[in-house]
Chain A
Amino acid sequence: MNLEGLVAQLLAMAVALVGAPLLAGWVNMCRAWLQNRRAPPLTMPFRTLHKLFWKESVVARDASPIFRVAPYIVFGCMLLASLIIPTLSTNLPMATAADAIALVGLFGLARLFISLAAMDIGTSFGTLGARREMLVGFLAEPAFLMVVFTASLISSSTSLATTVSTLAHREFAILPSLAFAGLAFTMVSLAENARVPVDNPATHLELTMIHEALILEYSGRHLALIEWASSLKLFAYSCAGLAIFFPWGIAEANDHVALLWALPALAAKLAIGGFALAAIETTLAKMRIFRVPEFLATAFLLGVLALLVHLLLGA
């Protein structure tokens, strides 16, 4: 592990910790503008986190240790995820610890714990949320893996750093397989991050919520950690998508100038991506929960199609 790698790694961590709530704030701002509302400030998520951390944590009497451990584990998983995704530089010492398949496993681990925590209290909404979350998860996970597979086959590697540097060096051309994969990835990201049309992050309407039902019993610092983890998840998914489909601007090893440029490039890409997300959320309606399997099955089949197109055309 060299010094430069360590610096890049720590920088990536700091960027993730600060950038994730900012991204969430930016999406909320854009959404408010698009809906002709006055937008909350960009730093609103930080204020919310600060407020929640100060508040007392109320824990149900029957809660087992799983309920109290889960927020920390989920937070740890999401931070690790943003450490292994090349956000600024492909020279990440942590990237060897987990490749793209392990990344999917990491999200799976977080999902397992948050679902178990939701079932732990034994309320009807908690179990309902756990069931729906696992439903979304088991359909979204294979679709995500198919996207990863397509990118891995193009770059002959499941290591994200290698994938990104291979994809960044090819000449600019829209590969049909990557186009399908990109569509599938967008659908998966919407579902996994509890966004419209699958879930609504701003709702507490009992019958429709998924993510909010899971975390209904959390309060205080536990809720703060989960909210931070959710924004980290959105950040990680966005960065993974940007790294695979728009890999330009990410610095490579021993390229110090590029590392300086990488941060503004990332900020610009995320700003555009966040606006696109807000636009999607504003223009689409939330679908019924029974339609979600169809939506995600489409994403899965698009992922498989991407794989097939790559194998057929070699592109």
Chain B
Amino acid sequence: MVPLPELLAIDGAMVVVVAWLAIGLAGVAALHNLALVARVLFPLSAALSLAMAGVALLAIPGTPQTAILPIGLPDLPFHLRLDALSAFFLALLGLASAGISVFAGGYFRQGEGTPPGLLCLHYHLFLAGMATVLMADDAYAFMVTWEMMALSSFFLVTTNHRIPEIRRAGFLYLLVAHIGAIAILLCFGVLQANTGDYTFGNMRAQSLSPFWASCAFLLALFGFGAKAGILPLHVWLPEAHPAAPSPVSALMSGVMLKTAIYGMVRVSFDLLGSPIWWWGVVALVAGLATALFGVVFAAAQVDMKRLLAYSSIENVGLIVVGLGLAIIFAAYRMESLAALALVAMLYHCLNHALFKSLLFLGTGSVLHATQERNLGKLGGLMRFMPWVAWTTLAGVIASAGLPPSNGFVSEWLLLQGFLFTTELPNPYLAMLVPVFAAGVVLVAALAGYVMVKFFGVIFLGRPREEKLSQAHDAGLLERLGLLWLTAGCVLLGLFPAAVIEAIDPVTSSLVGRGLAQSGRAGDWLLLAPISAERASYSPILFLLVTAAIVALAFVLVRRVYHGRVRRAAPWDCGFPMQTARMQDTAEGFGQPIRQIFEPFYLMKRELPTPFDAAPRYRVTVEDPMWGWVYVRIAAATEAVSRWVGMLQRGRISIYLLYSFLTLVTLLLLTQA
């Protein structure tokens, strides 16, 4: 790949951002013209996403490029910088949003709350905000665009603002986003080390004492963790994702969560310079707890979008585990292993962006075709919606982390990283960190369970409701979006060596080493991060041999024997009275997990007695974090407010007394 001439890549990225804003404004001009917005503006925006992905991919191996935009306050311009890390995440943004935008063109309908033109504006402000966050090179530009991203996504979440639950979900999202933003602001405050210069260049130049560096890291983990959904700041995710329209959920889960990951990587590897080992342990513990929590809750969900939201929490947890591992390796100057962990993490970011977007879009099509989000009222949709079903199946295999999909590659790399932790110089770490791999493996296996439940209950079996047989397949634009993301998942799974080569400049800029491939011919076939003797994986060969065996078996069986098939009613052990209601519901499928992980849940059950004439079974599963953390914080806030409220007597004379006392106190202080 030839790097573009100097300053061309960043200019290209800025042109795309400006064009996105222009499309947004055009949407406002055509406020109620759905045809224009959906058929012209959104596909155009998808083309721009492709351009962004192309520019970013070309910029990854190039040298960092900077630009200064004279907008904002006087003497406080926006500093922008496009280096390998930014370019990687911009490429992720472009690749995922290209599919999502095309899909959105076919998805949005008239009469869903916000008019389509306004929706188009919010959507493109959101895209532009995320892209600028990734390019920002000073705290001011970063925070302004971070807010732009948060606010525009708030308006997107509350598209159907006439429904009270959606307004509530939007408020919760806004609240957590701002608590996180405060922490990020404080983190930047620590990073500039009293110099008053908030550019990232200055922050890089500062060398903080370990105490302040740790403060900055923890603030960043908290602040960005609020956006990414790390325990216990995840509560907004399962509320906001189901509330938002599906393309927006896809964009939020697939891309916006990654901007938070970008922030963590930027702060811990770039701005802070040399990490300290226990940061990695903190990230590892937080990530694993998040992942386990997410997947266990995903298994218990009955709303398909909530299920995916919890699955996003799980994936973010795994990404943070990778980050923690990379920090530990980097702290002990084991550069090539840090590169391995970092590659695993970045690869998983990319994978998650594609497969989770794909799954969210699939639920969008199902939602439009059936008006149902409840898994208990779906079923058998594979016959009526084959396009959606087969593309979703690709996403399901990727999300379950099974070969030869892309999800398996990143999981494989992460586990390979864990196998090297026994070489850490700290004996306690060398002994305890490998055990974390057991947790990662458990999470990955549970993800398979969750995905079988997701796909099986929605698309397989018999329709649980009459109306489902009227379900229609996705439209042309929707299919295009789904196919694009499916192709992404498949290609990322089949050519890992090429992807890793593309990521290499990112890791070499962050930890000083790339993941050098062992220099043998035909390397693109074989993924062998350290050496082929140590570990290797070749998805192409894997797929080809499996496909060859399948084809051979298919042909041979027909040649040697026969290929006759008779269609009949299902047998089911000869049981004659079968109805669709006898299939497992989503609750039923999740029941074993609920039983095994009972202490995790806050569960209320109403069981019927054998003598009930009209038996009712009701089970509600709630997030215990509400009770443990949020309700207590709310109670404490209320108690403090009550104390403050005692001061407020509502009589002017008492307020004058307060002023008088304050003045006297101040006088005394200044005299003294």
A residues lining the B interface (CB < 8 Å)? 53-54, 56-62, 64, 66, 68, 72-73, 75-77, 79-80, 83, 94, 96-99, 101-102, 105-106, 108-109, 111-112, 115-116, 119-128, 130-132, 134-135, 137-139, 141-142, 145-146, 149, 152-153, 156-159, 162, 204, 206, 216-217, 220-221, 225, 290, 293, 300, 303-304, 307-308, 311-312
Contacts and interface: CB of A to CB of B under 8 A. Distances in A.
B572 A125 contact: yes
A149 B538 CA distance: 20
B438 A56 contact: no
A127 B375 CA distance: 14
Given A62-B383, A80-B546, A138-B445, A311 B553 contact: no
B397 interface: yes
A131 B589 contact: yes
Interface in B374-406: 379-380, 382-383, 389, 393, 397, 400-403
A56 B457 CA distance: 29
A308 B428 CA distance: 12
Contacts of B389: 64
Q: Interface of chain A, helix or strand or loop or mixed?
A: helix
Contact of A311 (B402, B408, B416, B430): B430
A130 B569 CA distance: 20
For the complex of A and B, the 7 pairs showing the least CB-CB separation, nearest first, are A122-B461, A122-B462, A127-B584, A119-B456, A97-B541, A123-B572, A60-B570
Contacts of B652: none
Among the interface residues A105, A149, A162, which one has the most CB atoms of the partner chain B within 10 A? A105
B578 A124 contact: yes
Contacts of B403: 98, 102, 105-106, 109
Contacts of B532: 96, 159
Contact of A56 (B442, B535, B564): B564
Contacts of A97: 536-538, 541-542, 545
23 contacts: A54-B562, A58-B568, A60-B570, A61-B569, A73-B546, A97-B537, A97-B545, A98-B538, A101-B537, A102-B408, A109-B397, A116-B455, A120-B460, A127-B461, A127-B589, A138-B449, A141-B448, A149-B437, A293-B592, A307-B434, A307-B438, A311-B430, A311-B431
A174 B171 CA distance: 61
Given A75-B550, A122-B461, A158-B416, A94 B541 contact: yes
B422 interface: yes
Contacts of A217: 570-572
Interface of B: 379-380, 382-383, 389, 393, 397, 400-403, 408, 412, 415-416, 419, 422, 430-431, 434-435, 437-438, 441-442, 444-446, 448-449, 451-453, 455-457, 460-462, 526, 528, 532-538, 541-542, 545-547, 549-550, 553-554, 557, 560-562, 564-573, 575, 578, 580, 582-584, 588-589, 591-593, 595-596
Contact of B526 (A61, A96, A119): A96
A306 to B, nearest CB: 11
Contacts of A290: 595
Given A64-B383, A158-B416, A122 B567 contact: no
Contacts of B534: 156-159, 162
A293 B456 CA distance: 22
Given A127-B583, A159-B535, A311-B422, A108 B402 contact: yes
A85 B244 CA distance: 47
Given A108-B400, A225-B553, 12 more contacts: A59-B565, A66-B460, A68-B565, A106-B403, A115-B456, A130-B456, A138-B442, A149-B434, A156-B534, A159-B532, A216-B573, A221-B561
B545 A153 contact: no
B448 to A, nearest CB: 6
A214 to B, nearest CB: 12
Among the interface residues A76, A77, A153, A290, which one has the most CB atoms of the partner chain B within 10 A? A76
Nearest to A289: B592
Contact of A138 (B448, B461, B549, B583): B448
Contacts of B584: 119, 124, 127-128, 130-131
A137 B445 contact: yes
Nearest to B536: A96
A178 B529 CA distance: 27
A94 B537 CA distance: 10
Contact of B452 (A53, A130, A162): A130
A76 B565 contact: no
A62 B565 contact: no
Nearest to B439: A142
Contacts of B589: 127, 130-131
Contacts of A109: 397, 402-403
A61 B571 CA distance: 11
A112 B560 CA distance: 29
Nearest to A68: B565
Nearest to B415: A101
A86 B449 CA distance: 30
B345 to A, nearest CB: 17
Contacts of A139: 445
B196 to A, nearest CB: 49
A99 B536 contact: yes
A99 B402 contact: no
A130 B397 CA distance: 16
B430 A141 contact: no
Contacts of A137: 445, 448-449
A145 B441 contact: yes
A188 to B, nearest CB: 12
B573 A54 contact: no
B567 A153 contact: no
Nearest to A119: B456
Contacts of A145: 415, 441
A66 B549 CA distance: 17
A76 B546 contact: yes
Contacts of A125: 572-573
B568 A60 contact: yes
A122 B460 contact: yes
Contacts of B442: 138, 142, 300
